[in-house]
């Protein structure tokens, strides 16, 4: 069993922990979130509080990632609740993917939002971006603030429990801006996330390269920088013991008509 990359999940760059910190969003109780009255308050308070993330570098041959806690627990709880109200997931044919000509049900729920007119092809399914929701805009802007990168599209995956999962893939579509990292925000249940080098997969493996395993925490941000998605596949394996849902947002920059 390979060791997980050690991750400091509870500590920020100034050495404080969640418990020691003044909660960013004192008013953000679940009740208020449910009534939708907290949105403006969330925005204002989060921007007033300077959040200094503690970045962790994750590196291997051809793999370059950064990991940090972007949102403290209370704020992450609130964002999760708001997304549950706002996001409309795909239904019908759009919940199926094609792999080597065979059609499968997607083992999770999916949606996508982005700038007007954007489409993205993912596992043989062409996804048309719905308009940004207020919470997705808020999270996108927080990611931009933390990274200096701008994004025009987000793929949303909802895993109802540990049975829902995502198989090994690389996000190496040609329409993605290679200079922009894929920024993955996780909310809800903590899940394992596994990178596997393309030359060390399957029966025809050419090299023995250890997989890189992470735990993606509630409120975390994982940046997959170039050239990670050229050399490494990643997956979110099923974990039968996970009983609660998780929402993952992957912010991307899509090049359309050669424009950024
Ligand atoms: O849910 C996750 O963390 C994985 C998401 C992912 O790999 C993707 O959306 O391409
Ligand atoms: Fe991915």
pLDDT at 23: 40
- The C-alpha angle with vertex 222 and arms to 216 and 223, in degrees rounded to 5, equals 160
Atom of ligand 1 nearest to the CA of 171: 10
Q: How far is the CA of 25 from the centre of ligand 1 (A)?
A: 27
Distance separating alpha carbons of residues 123 and 173, to the nearest angstrom = 10
- Residue closest by Cα to atom 3 of ligand 1: 248
Residue ranges near ligand 2 (ion) with Cβ within 5 Å: 171
Distance separating alpha carbons of residues 144 and 10, to the nearest angstrom = 22
- Residue closest by Cα to atom 9 of ligand 1: 250
Is residue 232 a contact partner of residue 222, using CB atoms and an 8 Å limit?
A: no
pLDDT at 122: 73
3-state secondary structure of 44: helix
Distances (CA, A) of 12 to 50, 171, 179, 218: 12, 29, 27, 14
Ligand 1 in contact with 154 (CB < 6 A)?
Answer: no
3-state secondary structure of 23: coil
Per-residue pLDDT of the chain (260 residues; tens, 9 = 90+): 444 565 544 444 334 455 544 443 443 444 444 444 344 444 444 433 444 458 999 999 999 999 999 999 999 999 999 999 999 999 877 777 777 788 888 889 999 999 999 988 876 678 889 999 999 999 999 999 999 999 999 999 999 999 999 999 999 888 999 889 999 999 999 999 999 999 999 888 889 999 999 999 999 999 999 999 999 999 999 999 999 999 999 999 999 764 44
Ligand 1 in contact with 224 (CB < 6 A)?
Answer: no
Question: 102 labelled as ligand-binding?
Answer: yes
Those residues whose C-beta lies under 8 Å from the C-beta of residue 233, and which sit 6 or more positions away, are 168, 169, 170, 195, 196, 197, 198, 201
pLDDT at 53: 55
**Predicted TM-score (pTM) of this structure:** 0.82
pLDDT at 173: 86
Ligand 1 in contact with 155 (CB < 6 A)?
Answer: yes
pLDDT at 2: 47
ipTM > 0.95 for the complex: yes
For residue 214 the two structure tokens come to 């992470």
Is residue 185 a contact partner of residue 139, using CB atoms and an 8 Å limit?
A: yes
Choose which residue among 107, 157, 165, 218 to substitute to test ligand 1 binding: the one with the highest number of ligand atoms within 8 A of its C-beta.
157
Atom of ligand 1 nearest to the CA of 157: 1
């Amino acid at each position: 069993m390979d060791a997980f990359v050690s991750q400091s999940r509870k500590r920020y760059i100034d050495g404080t922990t969640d418990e020691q910190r003044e909660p960013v969003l004192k008013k953000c109780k679940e009740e208020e979130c449910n009534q939708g009255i907290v949105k403006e308050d969330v925005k204002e308070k989060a921007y007033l509080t300077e959040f200094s993330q503690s970045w962790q570098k994750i590196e291997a041959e051809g793999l370059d990632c950064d990991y940090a806690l972007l949102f403290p627990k209370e704020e992450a709880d609130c964002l999760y609740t708001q997304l549950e109200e706002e996001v409309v997931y795909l239904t019908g044919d759009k919940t199926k993917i094609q792999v080597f000509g065979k059609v499968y049900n997607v083992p999770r729920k999916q949606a996508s939002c982005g700038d007007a007119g954007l489409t993205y092809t993912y596992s043989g399914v062409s996804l048309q971006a719905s308009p940004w929701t207020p919470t997705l805009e808020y999270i996108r802007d927080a990611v931009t603030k933390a990274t200096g990168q701008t994004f025009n599209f987000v793929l949303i995956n909802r895993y109802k429990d540990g049975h829902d999962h995502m198989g090994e893939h690389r996000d190496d579509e040609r329409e993605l801006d290679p200079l922009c990292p894929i920024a993955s925000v996780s909310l809800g249940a903590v899940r394992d996330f596994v990178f596997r080098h393309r030359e060390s997969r399957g029966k025809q493996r050419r090299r023995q390269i250890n997989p890189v395993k992470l735990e993606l925490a509630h409120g975390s941000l994982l940046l997959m920088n170039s050239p990670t998605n050229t050399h490494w596949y990643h997956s979110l394996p099923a974990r039968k013991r996970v009983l609660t849902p998780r929402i993952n947002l992957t912010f991307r920059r899509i090049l359309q008509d050669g424009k950024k």
